[in-house]
A and B are shown apart, each in its own frame.
Chain A
Amino acid sequence: MSEMAVFDPEGVDGVRMTWGVWPRTKVEASKCVIPIAATISPIRPHPDIPTLPYLPLRCKTCTGIVNPYCRVDFTAKIWICPFCFQRNHFPPHYSMISETNVPAELYPQYTTVEHAFTAPESHGAPPPQPPVFLLVLDTSVIEEELGYAKSALKQAIGLLPDNALVGFISFGTQVQVHELGFSDLTKVYVFRGTKDISKDQVLDQLGLNASVHRPATGYPKGAHQGLINSALVNRFLLPASECEYTLNSLLDELQTDQWPVQPGNRALRCTGVALSVAAGLLGACLPGTGARIIALVGGPCTEGPGTIVSKDLSEPARSHKDLDKDAAPHFHKAVKFYDNLAKQLVSQGHVLDLFASALDQVGVAEMKGVIERTGGLVVLAESFGHSVFKDSFRRVFEDGEQSLGLCFNATLEINCSKEIKIQGIIGPCSSLEKKGPSCADTVIGQGNTTAWKMCGLDKRTCLTVFFDISPSDRSNPQGGLNPQLYMQFLTNYQNPEGQMRLRVTTVTRRWVDSATNSEELVEGFDQETAAVVMARLTSLKMEMEEEFDATRWLDRSLIRLCSRFGDYRKDDPASFTLNPNFSLFPQFMFNLRRSQFVQVFNNSPDETAYFRMLLNRENILNSVVMIQPSLLSYSFNSPPAPALLDVASIAADRILLLDAYFSVVIFHGMTIAQWRNAGYQNQPEHQAFAQLLQAPHDDSQMIIRDRFPVPRLVVCDQHGSQARFLLARLNPSATYNSAHEVAAGSDVIFTDDVSLQVFFEHLQRLAVQS
């Protein structure tokens, strides 16, 4: 299976499923233990995807789009929708169609095509929308931090395309909206930090409601609307080329928040109001066009709505314990506030990106909803001076190969065969509440809909769709069972250049009667995807369900799965074996149980929220790394090689490179460290040593380079304090209880956690139990 990764298991379509073949009935599905789910990367680039410069044909009843799986009657010029079996006539301009002359979207290999339409007649002709960046900067930080943040912003402004619209808001005790289009002097609108402010109030107070005759409709589709707003827009949002100088000098003058901080108190910081104002401003100026609010936050919100902790320093920020015990007085209020903000932003189609840089928590946990539902980026760092922030932030604005491919304002629609119901999506999107026959009764994540809004997405954004099987009585009007199921993902989005695109991905899978044919099921199992889906589902359940015991739930699921698909004799643990398609799964679960996603008490709620958001939006490969880090070993005697994620991999003369996604650890064995400290690598005769030392650094840079957010790089030595970053992720096969068995140069982990081996023993025993 590991080769599959190399082979790009997602293929052209960017779709992976937990099960490659689907059981036909609900009962069978539940016996599969692992839910039927698909992960899709809606706009993942692939060289084989054609771009078609016209609008697609839609089925007149189900809005499905013509695709390679349609049955086409070339003579009658009719195509039959695979989802609803409706017969549709081709329009006149398809009259040339024939077996030898089919349009690209009917080519069998083009299961995914992209339609580009620069002039959607239906909406008039909006020119390409420039991207909009509303920068929101926290000034309630120490001088030094503000300096870092400012220089990051300046750099970012320099990287923006000339036509990008830029706005700037700073906040501390109060919110300051900078009017960039005012030339006489620096003009700032100040909002108090204590008071929640509605969008209409923001409008009023910024003087943006001058256009009394605003059309009633939500999204400004009409060109006249654009014109009315443009004058207003230009007060606060200017093309980067025009306001770069203004912004830079403004940043130069910007001071830290001047309101006094009482001793024993936290600085006042009204993050909530600032974001609310930012949302209001964008809502007023550019509703419905792609825009992102980029918030740089340096501490907890202590003032006004969205407060996560009181001003009083004697009150610590909430921990997981507090949340568990419902002892976090501000939590629910703040979450509610940010949820409302999320609704507003989603309705406006705008993104909130959060760059949190503080030693303390800043409220990522509370803001998770709004970030995730708007498809925003999130980066959690310790300081604005830290590379995790600096490099990540730069990447947001970088162009070219390194570009994140930030797109805006997308909607995802899913069409599928009638037997399939959609429960919902976990990932950076928001339900549009568009009910349809394909909606399942049970909901997971963003559900109750067949359409989702993704205010922001990028080329690696990945969503997890959960399905339910509910065969209808008359599933096939043709009579007889259709052996194939079909799904179609329609993603309408604004690409970084401001053009609207529609990507159509159509996939088919085979139904299987699992009662009779479990081998086929086994063949279709994707254990990596399954592990990730389980991780995502577990995270969701931990957040949503009170008293949810994740470890227990995972264990039971694993045991059930092994019982169902393992080969064994009843009650004989030793006889237990697993098909290779399942063989890695228990190990994934073992690591998942020990991971930050489940063992949350080692982390702050902010960190947990951060980890989960990334887990939910990353592709399968990366997500697997989050669950089960990869470990490479470097030594003189052999080329770099994967090593067991086990404490036994530690050796005095090795260098280990751990990629745990959020952090990359370079771990020098004791001997290596001594040599390095002695400076051998600087001596010509020890060039090999120098190379050895360098190799993991080079590799780590490779990892870091195309990862977003940039992981934290930890370079440490055996027995050093930082070594914990490695040890925490290793299988504790050697603990202080088993120290006598440890090989020389290796290490022990001080833990009572069970080791993989013990875990397996138990698993086998329980799986075979009758």
Chain B
Amino acid sequence: MASPVPSGVPRPGNAPPPPPNYNPNVQRAPADSIADGMQNLQINRPPSMPNQPVPGPPPPFAPSPFAATSASSAPSSAPFSGYAPVSRSGPPAGFTRAGPPPTGPPNAAASLRPSGAPPPFGSRPPPPGALPSSPLMTGPVVPPSNPSSVPGPMSNGPPAFASGPPRFPLSGSVQQPPVGPPPVSDRMLQAPPTIRPFPVGPAGSFSHGPPSQPVPPLPRFPAASATPRATPQPLHPFSSASQPSVPPYGAQTWQMQHRQVTPPIPGAQPPSMFEMPPPPNQPMSAGPTSMSHLPLPGSPAAGPSKIDPNQIPRPVPSSSVILFETRQVNQANLPPPATSDYIVKDTGNCSPRLMRCTINQIPCSGDLLTTSGMQLALMVQPLALPHPSEEPIQVIDFGDSGPVRCSRCKGYINPFMKFIDQGRRFICNLCGFTDETPREYHCNLGPDGRRRDADERPELCRGTVEFVATKEYLVRDPMPAVFFFLIDVSMNAIQTGATAAACSAINQVIADLPEGPRTFVGIATYDSTIHFYNLKRALQQPLMLIVPDVQDVYTPLQTDVIVQLSECRQHLVQLLENIPTMFQSNKVSDSAFGAAVQAAFLAMKTTGGKLLVFQSVLPSVGIGALFAREAEGRTNISAGEKEAHKMLQPADKNLKTMAIEFAEYQVCVDVFITTQSYVDIASISVVPKITGGQIYYYYPFSVLSDSAKLYNDLRWNVTRPQGFEAVMRVRCSQGLQVQEYSGNYCKRIPTDVDLPGIDSDKTIMVTLKHDDKFQEGSECSFQCALLYTTVYGQRRIRVTTLSLPCTTVLSNLFRSADLDTQFACFLKHAASEIPTSPLSQIREQITNFCISILHSYRKHCATVSSSGQLILPEALKLLPLYTLALVKSIGLRTDGRLDERSYWISRVSSISTPLAVPFVCPRLIAIHDLISKQETDGSLIPPSKPLFSENIIDDGIFLLENGEDCLIYVGNSVNSDILQQIFGISSVDEIPAQFVLQQYDNPLSKKVNEVVNEIRRQRCSYLRLRLCKKADPSGMLFFSYMVEDKTPSGLSYVEFLVHIHRQIQTKMV
């Protein structure tokens, strides 16, 4: 029981296998894994990047952008400084924030910014050096330096956590000193002017902004502003490297997570909250930045067009690894942005990877929450991949007695249970009940009131632990790892090569399945009938068993259909090789998907397990047969607009009934859809959704370009950390209660989440509601308990506890808002609405949601002075952009294919926080000039560019990725040398329709491949690569992702900001 090996989740020794990369083998070795771990550690790189004075590159927009938000005026310089300064202020961190100070910028308001540029750098330099090493461990180094300057920092100091190079600078941005200093400043300067002209433009506001700052008091302090600056530089965006580019601080990144935020608050918040010594910052904070203001023309009249697009808030990547301690000085630390790169040290709260809250302080009352307009929800990803450098989760065996639990609410022992009465009793942090300490668990308390053994017992000092489950947690013996492959062999599947691709993928993946006697496999194929295979070793050759009754299915054998892998490996390999030829001339075009799934389920019923289905056409016969609604939808288009969303609802109830039964018997279904036509994902997706599986969608399927992805997806599917027959429940302190869970799971009783399968990629959203008030200063705990079976057959309980402070101050909520999480929450809500409400209504709802948050902030936290400004809370300054992106996303567009939208919805339902933002608001990078950049900044992935078509130049090649697809746009007049180097073709005309990225023997090609691989690692996804060119459907597709553009059906980013601003103003009145 006590086996040290953690559950299946993080596979034992190794860090989670890297994402599906091509080299299957690499993964296992821990070392390697780290190297290519999905999480790229920039660890080593920091040095280089930091230094690079990115200046050059940034130019594009860099500087100004963020500026826009806050002090546009301050131009560039301000940007960073803004906020950052505040928080970091003290510390050398300065860079980031420091930046602002430098501000030398002309503007009055600028005061802050001014500081920005110059100083920052100066200061930073040092850090950089430190950082490199530090990122992870060294953290300390930095601190020292900081301390000197500011006490606060010290605390934070643990630069250790240095901000990693978050992929998404978004939140991280704050920290970074984004923009290249000087250059920026220049721009800024210039920019401002432009901005101003239009009050409207963020810039404009900006200008105002500054003014406001003086007033700053609380409101602003949201400090967000600091961040904003960061944003500016287009360059840095994601890649850490880029940031570094921002020469200024480049390196430093490390700041504490708390960053800035605190400072501003000063007044409001108890200093304690953040170690940061508020005082120091205050000055800065105040002025600068609290929030990003987008100066918007007070008068709506102002043409939106006048805003300088370069200055509006955009994500800023953080380049370096952040070292994050979950708690310090008995306070919860603000987690780094989900999209950033960070290493967690669990000091009491769980890693934010596993569970994070939309707001990192809990409103004491429901009213306060309502006022804020924000959602209170948790994103729980219980088996999330850890960073390779993080300590593994400890496994604790309490022996026969099982883990200590509260006798009333059954909460598990955790660091926030308070022991009293010399340790004889403890008070549950969840329900407040006082329990007797079990005798064998008794320990005296130390002078600090903690148990003397608190630091030795992981369950008393770690936010996440795993308990070995005792018998009372077992209904039956832990199930073996069963993998059942179900392959479509109907005529279409055979002819498009989908069957062959699936067989070959499975064949390769067999080697990656867990070794040992507990791994079982089965295989079946189907067209209008279902074909099982008896793989028992005794037989000379596999025996094909056909189940022809697809209305009322059954399994053809009780045993032998699912066999120990070790017993049937040869047969399996042989069979998989034969299947494509065996059905070569199959003329059956029907596909009995539902029946096949049901039959496979029956075969797996006794054990449960994973059912991996490869489907290629619309299921047309048998149970759960579907019909081509899409065609029908088109013919009814006129009448259909109102009811259009119904096409996204499941057409068949049987599938749902079946899925619920599957879940009951612990069968988790993943569906790989390799098709060239409509397959009604809306209906099919019900099965994976309810069983804790997922849909993979390859459309239009191409053997050439999709086979590799299929293989890699499958491989990641079976090798990623995962568990079976899981049950999850989230408990929270009295005052809150779980309102609803959403994600891919089966709901049998309201309080529990039944998960036949759970893996590292799956996230479950837990919405919360108040049922009582909290005391100011108290803490609210959340505990997620996941009881599951590892692939090696151990039964485990993973207990994840998060304790957050409660507050009555509205501004605290805004300051501690977690943008990524909020947005993910947002996204999921929207997705779940799509099938039941008209699109226009949802779009409006989303926009209103954004508006009401901003309005609340404007009304309660910002100064009244500048009505002409759009004032954004720093933490949420990108909310408008994301909202806009969401409104324009595939799911909410009317022109998309039904299946694409259904897929989008199903993907969103389990998407994790770090992937939510890019999924909607993809990353765009230029790759034609990789080499030159490389030389200058050393980061693997170049900084991202705003999703703005004006940036797409004709002689450039751009890569756009959203974690699923990767579009490579080749401009019309790209230098043929570059084409030759990257694609091996000499002219744009030769661009193939189906594309496989190859590595040629030249630095550029190598570099491109490195970049793509790095992205794959980050996303844990192989990405579907497609080439796009102008004046081609593929080009249209590419441009459809340019969310900042004005489109026939949507506003441009600038217009959208204006729109929001107006709405807020209207509300204010």
Contact = CB atoms under 8 A, between A and B. Distances in A.
A19 interface: no
B529, B549, B559 interface centre (most CB from chain A within 10 Å): B549
Interface in B424-441: none
A424 to B, nearest CB: 40
Given A185-B542, A185-B543, A258 B559 contact: yes
B544 A187 contact: yes
A381 to B, nearest CB: 29
A376 B547 CA distance: 30
A258 B552 contact: no
Contact of A201 (B539, B549, B560): B549
B86 to A, nearest CB: 71
A602 interface: no
Interface string A165-189: 0000000011010010010111111
A259 interface: yes
Given A174-B554, A191-B549, A185 B529 contact: no
Contacts of A192: 549, 552, 554
A188 B545 contact: yes
A510 B529 CA distance: 66
Contacts of A399: none
A174 B556 contact: yes
Interface in A186-227: 186-192, 195, 197, 201, 204-207
B540 interface: yes
A124 interface: no
Interface residues of A, number: 26
A167 to B, nearest CB: 15
B557 A258 contact: yes
A258 B542 CA distance: 16
A190 B582 contact: no
Contact of A206 (B539, B544, B548, B558): B548
A90 B538 CA distance: 71
A249 interface: yes
Interface in B550-578: 552, 554, 556-560, 575, 578
A260 interface: yes
Nearest to B540: A253
Given A192-B554, A205-B529, A258-B559, A186 B548 contact: no
A259 B561 CA distance: 12
A186 B544 contact: yes
A176 B534 CA distance: 13
Nearest to A250: B543
A363 B1038 CA distance: 72
Contacts of A260: 558
Interface in B664-679: none
Interface string B518-543: 00000000001101100000111111
Contacts of A258: 557-560
A258 B603 CA distance: 13
A350 B212 CA distance: 99
B544 A188 contact: yes
Nearest to B556: A190
Contacts of B588: 207
A212 B541 CA distance: 34
A703 to B, nearest CB: 44
- The contact size tier of chain B is 20 to 34
B554, B560, B578, B588 interface centre (most CB from chain A within 10 Å): B554
B560 to A, nearest CB: 6
B542, B558, B560 interface centre (most CB from chain A within 10 Å): B558
Nearest to A204: B548
A265 to B, nearest CB: 14
Nearest to A193: B554
Given A205-B529, A258-B557, A258-B558, A188 B548 contact: no
Nearest to B561: A258
B578 A205 contact: no
A294 to B, nearest CB: 23
Nearest to B553: A192
A184 B578 contact: yes
B558 A259 contact: yes
B546 A253 contact: no
A185 B541 contact: yes
Contact of A185 (B532, B544, B552, B560): B544
Contacts of A182: 544
Contacts of B546: 179, 187-190
Interface in A128-179: 173-174, 176, 179
Contacts of A207: 528-529, 548, 588
A182, A184, A192, A260 interface centre (most CB from chain B within 10 Å): A184
Given A185-B582, A205-B529, A207-B529, A191 B548 contact: yes
A234 to B, nearest CB: 15
B602 to A, nearest CB: 10
A191 B553 CA distance: 9
B578 A185 contact: yes
Nearest to B527: A207
B641 to A, nearest CB: 40
A328 to B, nearest CB: 29
A259 B560 CA distance: 10
A335 B666 CA distance: 42
B678 to A, nearest CB: 26
Contacts of A185: 541-544, 575, 578, 582
B559 A205 contact: no
A259 B558 CA distance: 5
Contacts of A206: 548
Interface string B918-951: 0000000000000000000000000000000000
A184 B586 CA distance: 14
30 contacts: A174-B554, A176-B556, A179-B546, A182-B544, A185-B544, A185-B575, A186-B541, A187-B543, A187-B544, A188-B546, A188-B556, A189-B545, A189-B548, A190-B532, A190-B546, A190-B554, A190-B556, A191-B548, A191-B549, A192-B549, A192-B552, A192-B554, A201-B549, A205-B548, A205-B549, A206-B548, A207-B528, A249-B540, A258-B557, A258-B560
Closest 4 CB pairs of A and B: A205-B548, A190-B556, A187-B544, A189-B546
Interface of B: 528-529, 531-532, 538-549, 552, 554, 556-560, 575, 578, 581-582, 588
Given A189-B547, A204-B548, 8 more contacts: A185-B578, A186-B542, A195-B549, A205-B529, A205-B549, A207-B548, A253-B538, A258-B558
Interface of A: 173-174, 176, 179, 182, 184-192, 195, 197, 201, 204-207, 249, 253, 258-260
